[in-house]
Structure 1
Amino acid sequence: MKKHLHKFETTLWLFIKFIFYISLMMAFVRIMGRESIGLTRLSRTLGITVSTFAIVGLLFLSVYGKYDVGRRKSKPIIYSLTLAVICTDIVTYLQLMIMRTNVPSVWQFRLNSLGLLGLALCVQLVLIIFFSYAGNWLFFLIHKPEQCCVITSSQRRLDELVFSMQKFKKQYQISSVVDYRNPDKRKYIKEAQTVFVYDVPVEARTDIMRWCYQYNVNLYFNPEIEDIMELNAEQYVLNDVYLLNKNVKALTMEQRIVKRSMDIVLSLVLGILSSPFWILGSLAVKLNDGGPVLFKQERATIHGKRFEVYKLRTMKPNNDNHSVTKDDDRITKPGKFLRRTRIDELPQLLNVLKGDMTFVGPRPEMIKNVKEYTEELPEFEYRLRMKAGLTGYAQIRGKYNTTPKDKLIMDMMYIEQFSILKDIQLIFQTAIVLLKSDSTEAFDKNNKHCPYKFEKWKEKKHGKNN
């Protein structure tokens, strides 16, 4: 049975995706058709509504994420698809209400059938949950965990990688751990289905990549600055010489004007819309211990310029200034809720309005952390090539306790791929952060999740270890 499924797996998944997406569309059309007769027969209303749903749906799927079972766990897929469907339904619903306005006057526009819209969303949510869990179940019924060889440089790096891999036990099973300096690593690569390369120098990684390609072995590796430059380079043929061209440049004046205009408009609109949360959050902080409502802290932004970032206070007053750790007793009771829901960061809209920060960009680190991280990782200062942001790629894909190097890589990917459209996409994706339970996961100093031991390879000469 599994052999036959493997042969036609691509066709199988295309069929499942087609059924899934059509089911979401039909749920909206059939339910909204109860009060819109044009959706119950072949008509202009049906054609435009279906076209709108399909086009807008594809757009928001590209923003939030597709039905990629086997690659992601069920809950992240559910969150992404739910947000995509909500946005699609709202846009399609507004288009349908406009078409139902027979009198050509804006004053005749009405939002009817809101109850049916809510019912459609509920039915679609059930479909999303069912297809997400059933899809992952079927995928792992067909596929066994990949036998993985991990090639790294130290126990610390192994711990970091395994901590993430253990959350995907159905996808990956570690069969061997190898020091990249070990001359026998080619043998381990040949025996594996998948190779993870983490924190290995670029010059040493080259041979590993070639061997993986030679033996048809899947490869995952964490990028370095050189990889980011190459990834964002353009193809260029000089006469008949094939080259990659990477132009290192700052934002254009037009981009600066548009980005700043977006910052002002968004900070004002979101500031007004979120004002009830500001008020309730401020009251909770004040009533808890009577201390100050706002917390101010010096942070670094573009070119190392310093400014005071604003947050609703989530810790006890007069505490040491250092990153939050797991089970940190400095955090107050209302502070835990404010941090989990990100309400504590709403005052940073004032920083955006003032121009200290931008809406999308690298998160501003504490001055102490910037110094420590830069000493360990000199490239960390490259993050200061762009103004600090309220949200960004590292905040959406990463966590509070993401390693400095991984934060750097994600921030550099954003800086090098910057565009206004990318900013708009990241603003929409920020909603995912509110749904992720581990997005505010703190640093765990006693991380003992790694059951694998890294053995550093030592060159032997004349029977003695050096």
Structure 2
Amino acid sequence: MIEKNSFWSNVIFIIEAMLMLVGVYIALNPEHTLSLSTHGMEEFLPVIPWLIVTYVFINNIFDTNIYYNQTRSNIIFNTFIVQLLFSFILCIICTIYIEHFFFDLDFIIYYFIIGTSIALVIHLGIFAYFTKIASPKRVLIIGRPKAVFSALDNFDYSVQPLHQITHLVIGNYFNNLKNIIEEIDVIYIAGVMDAGVSQELYNYLIRKDKTIYLASTIENSISLNAHLLNISDESIIQVSPYYLTREQYAVKRIMDILVSLCMLLLLSPVLLATVIAIKLESKGPAFYRQERVTLGNKVFWILKFRSMVSDAEAKTGPVLAQKNDSRVTKVGKFIRATRIDEIPQLINVLKGEMSLVGPRPERPNFVKEFTEINPFYPLRYNVRAGITGYAQVYGKYTSDFESKLKFDLLYVKRYTLLLDIKLFLKTILIVFDKMSSQGQSDGSGNIPKNGVNGEIQILK
């Protein structure tokens, strides 16, 4: 299996980076900017380290070296985005270091064609080999019925073919598990089980050398980013809380201010065009203000472009957006699908009410409702609410609030500046995901479809 940070993954990166340098050199030559002369090589050499670092960084951001849980179309699209972004950065680096070179659109096009072709051959070739040699893991899901069927539904939603759900155990755990333990590769413990039962399961499965998957519950995620302390002759695990350090808050705030200012300047023509389009289609203000909750459970007014009719909640009161919501205007559908409706929130970021990346802000009445259901819900407000977040990049728009809460708390636990950059850039891909722009699903989400996994044994 080729996974991120593995030996083979690093080897592939080195090979790809070397081929990328060849592609850059070829792209420079049509304009005779460089030649194979000694002087040309002297100009090109200082550029090489910057190109390699930039190329590896961008590919890491978009996870192009991860072939597990991927599809051919995802690989093609990710490669396209990476090469397009790198082409522009490449042009800037060459302008700085190479004499007589200036930002050149022809050069961008030349390299983009060459670089994309090279990268696609590498990534699609590896993906084809990976899918050919990788046999599906036989997975058993164990736990309470509701959690088990919810997990099964999530596996069925996944497009990857490398997990085959063969058994569901929803009762008489140990007897059922012992009877079929040799028929499975992975045991997924869904939801929360009694502490004694969970511990006994872990002990048994570890002795059997089985891979264990755990749901990202509060109980399981609390040990992430733990520190090891040695006191006398004992090692102690120090669990970190769900908040950022002062230094992390400061760095995050500086990034928010700089990036939001630049984006407001660059996107000002889009802002103006959107205001005109909204006003031409329907009566009412171009901007929409609504109360939301952010850091420290403080209430603020979020700014968005209006995508619904101006009296959308006059009769219904506060309700979540639904799939194919009739209240959404034609312009509203477009700006929602392209995320243009979120651009005014950059003003909220500048004011310190939001961050570029963080848990999406919710309305006060829903916060109260969700907190009554799940007492851990307020933990997501230990950081500023964000324009985009972990749940928006890796989750489904149609997920319920508890599923999104798990993503939000994982974000707080795993926070780094690099993670913020990664989530912010990967949001570009979400714009093109139709599912991400739909409203809340009407389905129950608990009915096993069995379409991907074939025949499944349910053991009670």
Q: Same fold (TM over 0.5)?
A: yes
- Residue 157 of structure 1 deviates from its aligned partner by 5.2
1:200 counterpart = 2:192: yes
Q: Is the 2:288–2:306 contact (alpha carbons within 8 Å) kept by the matching residues of 1?
A: yes
Of 225, 237, 243, the match for 1:244: 237
1:281 counterpart = 2:279: no
Partner residue, 2:75: 77
Of 24, 27, 30, the match for 1:28: 24
Partner residue, 2:109: 118
Cα 1:444–1:208 change in 2 (3 A) is same
Cα 1:262–1:52 change in 2 (3 A) is closer
1:296 counterpart = 2:289: yes
Q: Is the 2:91–2:103 contact (alpha carbons within 8 Å) kept by the matching residues of 1?
A: no
Give the Cα–Cα distance (whole angstroms) in 1 for the partners of residues 202 and 169 of structure 2: 15
Deviations 1:410-456 (A, max 9, x none): 22222233344443443333323224333224322135773259969
1:139-150 matches, within 5 Å, as 139-150=130-141
Q: Is the 1:31–1:116 contact (alpha carbons within 8 Å) kept by the matching residues of 2?
A: yes
Q: Is the 1:325–1:442 contact (alpha carbons within 8 Å) kept by the matching residues of 2?
A: yes
Deviates more, 1:64-73 or 1:39-48: 39-48
Give the Cα–Cα distance (whole angstroms) in 1 for the partners of residues 179 and 225 of structure 2: 33
Partner residue, 1:213: 206
- Residue 337 of structure 1 deviates from its aligned partner by 1.2
Fraction of identical pairs, as percent: 25
Instruction: Look up the SS of the partner of 1:200 in the other structure.
Output: coil
Q: Is the 1:150–1:176 contact (alpha carbons within 8 Å) kept by the matching residues of 2?
A: yes
Cα 1:161–1:451 change in 2 (3 A) is closer
Partner residue, 1:322: 319
1:428-439 matches, within 5 Å, as 428-439=425-436
Partner residue, 1:463: none
Partner residue, 1:305: 298
Structure with the greater relative contact order (CA < 8 A, sep ≥ 6): 1 or 2? 2
Deviates more, 1:305-314 or 1:194-203: 194-203
- Residue 384 of structure 1 deviates from its aligned partner by 1.2
Instruction: Look up the SS of the partner of 1:334 in the other structure.
Output: helix
Q: Is the 1:324–1:443 contact (alpha carbons within 8 Å) kept by the matching residues of 2?
A: yes
Give the Cα–Cα distance (whole angstroms) in 2 for the partners of residues 70 and 325 of structure 1: 32
Give the Cα–Cα distance (whole angstroms) in 2 for the partners of residues 25 and 200 of structure 1: 51
Instruction: Look up the SS of the partner of 2:165 in the other structure.
Output: strand
Partner residue, 2:256: 263
Q: Is the 2:224–2:414 contact (alpha carbons within 8 Å) kept by the matching residues of 1?
A: no
Instruction: Look up the SS of the partner of 1:72 in the other structure.
Output: coil
- Which residue identity does 1:174 align to in structure 2? I
- Residue 276 of structure 1 deviates from its aligned partner by 1.8
Give the Cα–Cα distance (whole angstroms) in 2 for the partners of residues 401 and 65 of structure 1: 24
Partner residue, 1:464: none
1:56-205 matches, within 5 Å, as 56-101=54-99, 111-155=102-146, 158-159=149-150, 161-179=152-170, 182-183=173-174, 184-201=176-193, 203=195, 204-205=197-198
- Residue 202 of structure 1 deviates from its aligned partner by 6.7
Give the Cα–Cα distance (whole angstroms) in 1 for the partners of residues 438 and 122 of structure 2: 28
Runs of at least 5 residues in structure 2 that lack an aligned partner in the other structure: 451-455
Deviates more, 1:402-411 or 1:425-434: 425-434
1:312-461 matches, within 5 Å, as 312-319=305-312, 320=316, 321-446=318-443, 450-452=448-450, 457=460
Cα 1:220–1:75 change in 2 (3 A) is farther
Give the Cα–Cα distance (whole angstroms) in 1 for the partners of residues 437 and 392 of structure 2: 10
- Which residue identity does 2:266 align to in structure 1? L
- Residue 248 of structure 1 deviates from its aligned partner by 3.3
Instruction: Look up the SS of the partner of 1:314 in the other structure.
Output: coil
Q: Is the 2:75–2:124 contact (alpha carbons within 8 Å) kept by the matching residues of 1?
A: no
Cα 1:370–1:220 change in 2 (3 A) is same
- Residue 39 of structure 1 deviates from its aligned partner by 5.8
Q: Is the 2:242–2:413 contact (alpha carbons within 8 Å) kept by the matching residues of 1?
A: no
Deviates more, 1:326-335 or 1:248-257: 248-257
- Which residue identity does 1:24 align to in structure 2? M
- Residue 164 of structure 1 deviates from its aligned partner by 4.2
Cα 1:214–1:168 change in 2 (3 A) is farther
Deviations 1:383-418 (A, max 9, x none): 111121222222222232233233222222222333
- Residue 21 of structure 1 deviates from its aligned partner by 4.2
Cα 1:39–1:325 change in 2 (3 A) is farther
Partner residue, 2:215: 222
C-alpha root-mean-square deviation of aligned residues, in Å?
3.1
- Which residue identity does 1:267 align to in structure 2? S
Give the Cα–Cα distance (whole angstroms) in 2 for the partners of residues 314 and 220 of structure 1: 41
Q: Is the 2:377–2:405 contact (alpha carbons within 8 Å) kept by the matching residues of 1?
A: yes
- Which residue identity does 1:299 align to in structure 2? R
Deviates more, 1:24-33 or 1:336-345: 24-33
- Which residue identity does 2:165 align to in structure 1? I
Q: Is the 1:39–1:46 contact (alpha carbons within 8 Å) kept by the matching residues of 2?
A: no
Instruction: Look up the SS of the partner of 1:177 in the other structure.
Output: strand
Deviates more, 1:126-135 or 1:52-61: 126-135
Give the Cα–Cα distance (whole angstroms) in 2 for the partners of residues 37 and 61 of structure 1: 27
Cα 1:268–1:17 change in 2 (3 A) is closer
Divergent runs of 4+, >6 A? 10-15, 453-456
Give the Cα–Cα distance (whole angstroms) in 1 for the partners of residues 25 and 194 of structure 2: 53
- Residue 265 of structure 1 deviates from its aligned partner by 2.6
- Residue 345 of structure 1 deviates from its aligned partner by 0.6
Give the Cα–Cα distance (whole angstroms) in 2 for the partners of residues 322 and 356 of structure 1: 23
Give the Cα–Cα distance (whole angstroms) in 1 for the partners of residues 351 and 11 of structure 2: 51
Instruction: Look up the SS of the partner of 1:426 in the other structure.
Output: helix
Deviations 1:349-402 (A, max 9, x none): 121122221222211012232223222221111111112122222222223223
Deviations 1:55-75 (A, max 9, x none): 221222222213222332233
- Residue 346 of structure 1 deviates from its aligned partner by 0.8
Q: Is the 2:359–2:384 contact (alpha carbons within 8 Å) kept by the matching residues of 1?
A: yes
Give the Cα–Cα distance (whole angstroms) in 1 for the partners of residues 328 and 143 of structure 2: 36
Deviates more, 1:334-343 or 1:150-159: 150-159
Q: Is the 1:301–1:357 contact (alpha carbons within 8 Å) kept by the matching residues of 2?
A: yes
